[in-house]
Amino acid sequence: EETIRSTPRETQIGYTRPPDVDGPDWEEQNSILERRVVRASQIHSCSVSTCLRFNRHRQMACKRRAPWPLSAEEYVDEAGNWSPKRTYGFMNNFCPAITTTLLCNNDIKLLTNGEDTKDVMWYTTSYATKKQSKNNNVSALMAKAMLYHENNSNHLNSILEQNRLLIFRCQQAINREMELSGPQVMSYIMGYGDCIRSHHYVPFYWFSLQKLLEQTFPELKGAIDAQNTRETTGDVDETSLQQDSILDNAAEHTSSVSCIIKEAVTLEFGKEGGLQTRASQIEDYCFRGTELNNLSYIRFILDTYEEHVPASKRIQRGRPPHKRSSYMLQHPRNNTYTRVIRPPGHNTLPNFVGQFLPSSKDPSQRALHCASMLALLVPWRRIQDIITNEGTWEERYDEFLSRASQEEKDIIAGVDYYYECRTAVMKKTQELENNHESRDEERRQQAE
């Protein structure tokens, strides 16, 4: 630290001519240039105008988390954690080749499968997917808009016009407090929408399947309740899409299904002109065509989609249509709708509605995890088919893993990776909390 502080900082180092690569002392001159550039651009200095911010403890702290941990040597441990050699806590990571070539500030990040990478993965995923944040001030904004509406709507005699104006004012009260980026504003003006997606997403009502498991196998109810409590009061701020209501229908035409969970209530006209409810994903899967016998639940949702069968089944010119599979006769809409099989190589992914799938690393959730993976990845007509009466969930799950495909193993690994990233975030947060407390203790001791 004393050596660095005593070395003068050259602000115009970026305009320096690089050493001659053909010179006899190129290595020595290049090493000297590296130290000069590092001194000029890689030393972090905390100031109120750059990085010092008030933290949750109302203390001024560096938002870049400087000073960084010291390390006498570079290392990468078996858990994937790494650190460069650092003997001065305010020196940024840098790549020597970039430093001596571009003569500017740079940073490096080693992306292993360690906790640092999982922490970054959690952050980037949350940022890219724009998960719902807490709306603590929405009620106050709505109340303010409501008060203004009551005081400035006496000139309207029509109740319909008053309600229309109320909705408009509430919308404007919320929109004017939103923080929008410039590219997002231009995207709205040009009509491009909220985002550009490379894949097509279909809703996957996981909560309905979880409810079916709970009702069919009562021994899983305790694990499901524990997961619901943990997700509701978790340490990590995350918002899952919760359904307001769950309808449990055991219709007359579904005698072979123990219970059918409705994800949504959709009314449509039946064959005789009366209203009937829309079938659920579970009902669609149980009464799928015989051509789709070997499809698992998740592959059924991803590899097929529902299409209305017109009254006149005309043969039209053009490219050959995708393969179709009719529902079984027990399905309430077997004559009006069919399943279309997507072509190979499609880019459809599931959008899980509800809480995330249970972890395999949590002993209290182990049986629920086994049952959930079997329900997702093993073909079945009745949910009871995923396990035999003789074996346990663990034995049935191990048997499935012994013959599972690489894609199925990747799905299971992806479920665990979610929890590994969340654990890394919680651990990183706790480490920062402990570092802050230790620094406060050092300041108090120095003051005394």
- Specify if 145 maps to a domain: yes
Q: Which has the higher per-residue pLDDT, 420 or 279?
A: 420
- Phi, psi at 246, each rounded to 5°: -130, 125
- Specify if 416 maps to a domain: no
- Specify if 172 maps to a domain: yes
Query: Are 98 and 220 in the same domain?
Result: no
Q: What angle do CA 218, 294, 385 make, to 5 degrees?
A: 20
Query: Are 239 and 276 in the same domain?
Result: yes
**Which amino acid is present at 263?**
E
Task: Dump pLDDT digits (tens) for 87-120.
Answer: 888 888 899 999 999 999 988 888 777 777 888 8
Task: Dump pLDDT digits (tens) for 181-238.
Answer: 777 788 888 887 777 778 889 999 888 888 899 889 888 887 777 776 665 554 444 3
Average pLDDT, the chain: 79
Query: Are 153 and 255 in the same domain?
Result: no
Query: Are 94 and 29 in the same domain?
Result: yes
- Specify if 128 maps to a domain: no
Query: Are 108 and 142 in the same domain?
Result: no
Query: Are 352 and 205 in the same domain?
Result: yes
- Specify if 157 maps to a domain: yes
Query: Are 319 and 170 in the same domain?
Result: no
Query: Are 32 and 80 in the same domain?
Result: yes
- Specify if 189 maps to a domain: no
Query: Are 288 and 381 in the same domain?
Result: yes
- Specify if 323 maps to a domain: yes
Rg (CA), the chain: 30
Query: Are 237 and 150 in the same domain?
Result: no
Write down the residue that tokens 């740079």 correspond to: 106
Query: Are 57 and 205 in the same domain?
Result: no
Write down the residue that tokens 């992914």 correspond to: 349
- Specify if 118 maps to a domain: no
Q: What is the pLDDT of residue 298?
A: 94
Q: Which domain holds residue 269?
A: 200-404
Task: Dump pLDDT digits (tens) for 68-87.
Answer: 888 888 888 877 778 888 88
Number of domains in the chain: 3
